[in-house]
Amino acid sequence: MDPVRCSWCSEDPLYQRYHDEEWGVPCRDADSLFEMLMLEGFQAGLSWITVLRKREHYRQVYRGFDIAFMASQSDDELQALLQDPGIIRNRLKVYGARRNARAWQRLCAEHEPVEWLWQFVGGQPRIGHAATLGEIPTQTAEAKAMSKALQKADFTFVGPTICYAFMQATGMVMDHTTDCHCYPALASG
């Protein structure tokens, strides 16, 4: 019998692996945080499983989300990327990835990025205790503050809902529902 998972998680093995091994687990690796911030932005207006299915291809075309590579891409390279069916071919998102890589470089020049991002939750995961998906917010004051700060730093595709999803994905917020098999271990820290 399969373990009980959050109701948003489908039967797709890729989704289940993401849910069980990554979502809600505290991440304090700068490269992984950058990748997830990019993926959450790519997801805007789409389902998360769409992005998960394209994640490995994104890793290939962005050379493992190499920030220097992404920041230095020319307009011609971005135009060519828009022809790649392995990614989400949205012009604003493709050009936004370059903009975000450049913004990340500036952020890293001024701050330690892991500490800077985690400051919005006081440096420690916020533990949710929702029994159902309906009890989980789509944005919070912390996500709004992160969104505002990222926008001020010239990031794009970082609205409060995207920032909250990013916080959930990277374990800044642990929102597994109380009936989920992941909840006990992640709620206890």
Residue 148's H or E segment, with its range, is helix 141-152
C-alpha distance from residue 3 to each of 63, 75, 146, 179 (Å): 35, 47, 34, 10
Q: Is the pLDDT of residue 189 over 90?
A: no
C-alpha distance from residue 106 to each of 128, 134, 180, 186 (Å): 32, 38, 39, 33
Q: Is the pLDDT of residue 1 over 90?
A: no
In-domain check, residue 15? no
145-173: average pLDDT: 98
The domain that contains 101 carries what CATH number? 1.10.340.30
pLDDT, one tens digit per residue, over 129-145 is 999 999 999 999 999 99
In-domain check, residue 6? no
Q: Is the pLDDT of residue 184 over 90?
A: yes
In-domain check, residue 126? yes
pLDDT, one tens digit per residue, over 43-69 is 999 999 999 999 999 999 999 999 999
d(CA 106, CA 110): 7
In-domain check, residue 183? yes
Tell me the binding residues for Zn(2+).
Answer: 6, 19, 176, 180
In-domain check, residue 132? yes
Q: Could you give the number of structural domains in the chain?
A: 1
Q: Is the pLDDT of residue 18 over 80?
A: yes
C-alpha distance from residue 167 to each of 3, 84, 101 (Å): 24, 29, 19
In-domain check, residue 114? yes
Expressed as residue numbers, the domain containing 93 is 27-187
pLDDT at 155: 98
pTM over 0.75: yes
Q: Would you place residue 110 in the very low, low, confident or very high pLDDT band (cuts 50, 70, 90)?
A: very high
Helix (H, G, I), strand (E, B) or coil at 127: strand
pLDDT at 86: 97
pLDDT at 133: 94
| CA-based R_g, the chain, Å | 16
- pLDDT, mean over the chain: 97
In this prediction, what percent of the chain has a pLDDT beyond 90?
98
In-domain check, residue 19? no
pLDDT at 2: 84
pLDDT at 19: 97
In-domain check, residue 11? no
Residues catalogued as catalytic: 18, 40, 48
Phi/psi-derived region of residue 63, left when phi > 0, alpha when psi is between -120 and 50, beta in every other case: left
pLDDT, one tens digit per residue, over 92-105 is 999 999 999 999 99
104-124: average pLDDT: 98
The DSSP secondary structure of 2-67, one letter per residue, reads PPP--TT--S-HHHHHHHHHTTTS----HHHHHHHHHHHHHHTTS-HHHHHHHHHHHHHHTTTT-H
